[in-house]
Structure 1
């Protein structure tokens, strides 16, 4: 499943491959389409396609209907304490209707008075007509303990940002760290996805059982993306010391250890810890050069992924020089 939400929020929402919306692991909203020929239940259809728009937490699910597609877009917004927005766009040449399996959600207009007909849905389900190239917007307002918390008015719902605004906002926030434009779009998209995953998740925890490299790279990415470094400076310094000692014992430096040590120096520098920064830089300069890693195997679900992508594009050498595309 794919995750949507807002940075720094205490809640997250997930979207199944067919567009059901979950909050805190519980299904909160399902959708159904009444097209010209029949009712469509996305969970059972074979024509479902899904993607993350530009790699950010805006999930688009397309369902084939006569004359085109029914398009669902789901994303989070910080307004009113946090909402999950669900938009249904009619990208077909014919009108259709969308049904939701609950009525305690915010919608831009009143549901059809005829109710749901021709399909067996839970009591309280509501249906809305959606004209050719029109959009129907609904929202789930998230309250305490991740429970649905009241409804928004039509004007409040209309004031919520559209999916394109949310897309642009995420991209602008991510480019504070670095901007990567490559002919190989999969790298750029993957970098965007992994950075969004970091910002939507809880920070890594540092202890003797944790992965020190993973912890440092996670915190460093958050700091590069605008989080305050002070709260993590001490833990990063301790983790960096353990990584350095491990490299010294092995008399070898793996690529991710190299990136973690440099990242620790950056965090300490931004936290105003100049002495710690200088100590890290001095020790790093005397370590062996790191290995060359060409493979991204098993990294796509790791905090190491953004660092690996950047390591393929630029690397700092012990003599102070910078290599562009060091892996060829």
Structure 2
């Protein structure tokens, strides 16, 4: 599952590997495409692929159909009501029907006001136009009716069911945009229209800008670099979505230099979490363990003594490596490693260094040390 949302809001949605989206209200939304040959349900089709759009918490899920793909993109866009956007692109040369399957554990009361789908009195989905057809009933029965051609074209007014299917036509080479409201109490008139929300490109660019602060790394391992960038984005998203941060979240925010988020998280954390964070506990959930392990490989500190690249991975040898603005108690550290044959060249700078600063680089040269806050040196290399 991938968490999507926007910074500054605690509301989140969870997206699975096939694009199904679980909302905070307990409602789940799946998607089915009616093509020339048959209905294609993303939950069951073999030809479904998903990728993350860079480090941003934004997903693209493609489902193969006759002549081309149906492509779903999911991302947090903010706006009134805290909206998660679905973009469904018809990348094929022929039109298809998009069926959005809305399911809940209890019976829903559903109606449409203008182009807003209202569930139990609150806005749930905003669209550019009302659904063309719909069906409602028990779990599985509404989907079966829609795929059998029995969906209704009557106005959708106060229907009931634990499953409701909403159908929109999507012409070839076009995109249907839907906004799912995360605020479970938003009135229909209080949600943003899909066309007023940021595009996927805007959101990806916004996340890239967010990740240009804090501690940044440029690693010689492309796969690990992707993991780190993704984990940093997930860490930022978790910083505002967790009501009572634990010590792992506090430590990771501090270690990676997200100072405003760390300060806010400290205010919300309980006494035990703050005490544990001060002891620098090292157990981590999955995304944060990547950050913890990489941080420990790149920077370690012991009072006024800072170790540069104390535990480099074997596959990093010979590759260029950069660290920018790593927060330490001795100052904010940046450094670069470049190789000249078997010998590494180290360039470093510590901003606002403490008195008595000592730098070492045990992973590059086990005898070298300096008290200079900036400089460059050709080291002898690991032994």
Q: Deviations over 1:122-143 (max 9, x none)?
A: 7541111111110001111122
1:75 CA displacement: 0.7
TM-score when normalising by structure 1: 0.68
Post-superposition offset of 1:158: 0.7
Q: Hey, what does 1:273 align to over in structure 2?
A: none
Following the alignment from structure 2 to structure 1, what is the Cα–Cα distance between the partners of residues 86 and 197?
A: 11
Residues 288, 48 of structure 1: CA spacing in aligned structure 2 closer, same or farther, 3 A cutoff?
closer
3-state SS, counterpart of residue 139 of structure 1: strand
For 1:1-328, what aligned pairs fall within 5 Å after superposition?
1-24=1-24, 26-102=26-102, 103-104=117-118, 105-113=125-133, 116-118=146-148, 124-143=164-183, 147=184, 149-151=186-188, 156-177=193-214, 180=217, 184-201=221-238, 202=242, 204-206=245-247, 215-221=250-256, 223=258, 226-227=260-261, 229=263, 232=266, 242=279, 262=301, 283-285=303-305, 291-294=310-313, 317-318=359-360, 319=370, 320=372
Number of equivalent positions: 277
How big is each residue's C-alpha offset from its partner over 1:189-247, in whole Å with a ceiling of 9 and x where there is no partner? 222210111011137534xxxx6xx74333332525x53648749x9997787469xxx
- Cα RMSD for the two superposed structures: 4.3
The structure whose residues are more often strand, as a share, is 2
Match of 1:249 in 2: none
Take 2:298 and 2:24, find their aligned partners in 1: how far apart are those partners? 34
- Contact map agreement 1:112 1:128 (CA 8 A) in 2: yes
Q: In structure 2, how many angstroms separate the alpha carbons of the residues matched to 1:227 and 1:49?
A: 34
* Distance apart, 1:68 and its partner CA: 1.0
Q: 3-state DSSP class of the match of 2:178?
A: strand
CA shift for structure 1 position 290? 7.7
Q: CA deviation at 1:150?
A: 4.0
Structure 1 residue 311 displacement after superposition: 10
1:25–1:152 distance in 2 versus 1, CA, 3 Å: closer
Please say if residues 106 and 153 of structure 1, whose CA atoms lie closer than 8 Å, have aligned partners that are also in contact: no
Q: Verify the 8 A CA contact 1:292 1:327 in the aligned structure 2.
A: no
Structure 2: gaps spanning 5 or more residues: 103-116, 119-124, 136-145, 152-160, 282-292, 316-325, 327-332, 338-345, 349-358, 361-369
Consecutive unaligned residues in structure 1, runs of 5 or more: 245-253, 263-279, 297-306
- Superposed displacement of residue 164, structure 1: 0.9
Structure with a larger share of its residues in helix: 1
C-alpha deviations, 1:36-65, integer Å up to 9, x for none? 110011111111100110121111100001
Give, in whole Å, the separation in 1 of the partners of 2:312 and 2:266: 28
- TM-score, normalised to structure 2, is 0.59
Are the structure 2 counterparts of residues 240 and 82 from structure 1 closer, same or farther at C-alpha, using a change threshold of 3 Å?
A: closer
Which deviations, in whole Å up to 9, do the C-alpha atoms of 1:10-45 show, x marking residues without a partner? 121111111110124945211110011100111111
Question: Equivalents in 2 of 1:27, 1:152: separation in Å?
Answer: 20
User: Distance in 2 between the 1:95 and 1:161 partners?
Assistant: 26
Residues 1:163 and 1:42: Cα distance change in structure 2 (over 3 Å): same
Q: Compared with structure 1, are the counterparts of its residues 53 and 257 closer, same or farther at alpha carbon in structure 2 (3 Å cutoff)?
A: closer
Instruction: Write the distance in 2 (CA, Å) between the matches of 1:91 and 1:170.
Output: 26
- Cα distance between partner residues in 2 of 1:324 and 1:128: 64
Q: Structure 1's 260 and 159: CA in aligned 2 closer, same or farther, altered over 3 A?
A: same
